[in-house]
Chain A
Amino acid sequence: MRRNTIVLIAVLFILAIFAWAGWANWEYRKQAAEKLLSGAGQGELVPAPGGDAMNYVSPLDGKPAPNFALENLSGSKVSLASYKGKAVMINFWATWCGPCKVETPWIVELRDKYAAQGFEVLGVDTEGDDLQASDKAGWAKAETNANKFVTEMKVPYPVLLDGDSISRDYGGLDDLPASFFVDRSGKVVAASVGLTSESDIEGKIKKALTE
Chain B
Amino acid sequence: MMGMRKQLCTAVLLSLGALAGRAQVIPPAAQNRSIITTDAVQYLFPEQVSVPAGKPSPVTLHFRVAQGLHINSHTPSDEFLIPTDFSIPDGIGVRLGAATYPPGTIILLAFDPKTKLSVYTGEFDIQARIIATPGNHLVQGKLHYQACDQNQCMPPKTISVPIDVIGK
Contact = CB atoms under 8 A, between A and B. Distances in A.
**A associates with B:** yes
B153 A43 contact: no
Interface stretch (A111-119, A172-180, A202-210): A172-180
A179 B111 CA distance: 18
A36 B32 contact: yes
A32 to B, nearest CB: 5
Interface in B106-156: 109, 111-112, 115, 117, 144, 146-149, 151-156
B98 interface: no
A25 B22 CA distance: 10
A14 interface: yes
Interface string A129-140: 110000000000
A200 B148 CA distance: 21
A60 interface: no
A66 interface: no
B16 A96 contact: no
B63 to A, nearest CB: 11
Interface residues of B, number: 46
A177 B153 CA distance: 7
A160 to B, nearest CB: 17
Given A22-B23, A43-B68, A145-B80, A100 B153 contact: yes
B4 interface: no
A134 B139 CA distance: 24
B20 A176 contact: no
Contact of A44 (B9, B12, B66, B112): B66
Given A96-B82, A98-B148, A130-B158, A24 B112 contact: no
A68 interface: no
Contacts of B144: 130
A81 interface: no
A91 to B, nearest CB: 14
A174 B155 CA distance: 7
A99 to B, nearest CB: 6
A149 interface: yes
Contact of A42 (B19, B66, B81, B156): B66
A25 B20 CA distance: 9
B152 A177 contact: yes
Nearest to B20: A21
A44 B69 contact: yes
A40 interface: yes
Given A42-B66, A44-B40, 19 more contacts: A14-B17, A15-B16, A22-B23, A25-B23, A25-B26, A28-B26, A32-B26, A32-B28, A40-B35, A40-B64, A41-B66, A45-B69, A45-B152, A99-B111, A129-B156, A130-B157, A174-B155, A176-B153, A177-B152
10 contacts: A11-B12, A21-B20, A41-B67, A45-B40, A53-B152, A96-B81, A97-B148, A98-B81, A98-B117, A175-B153
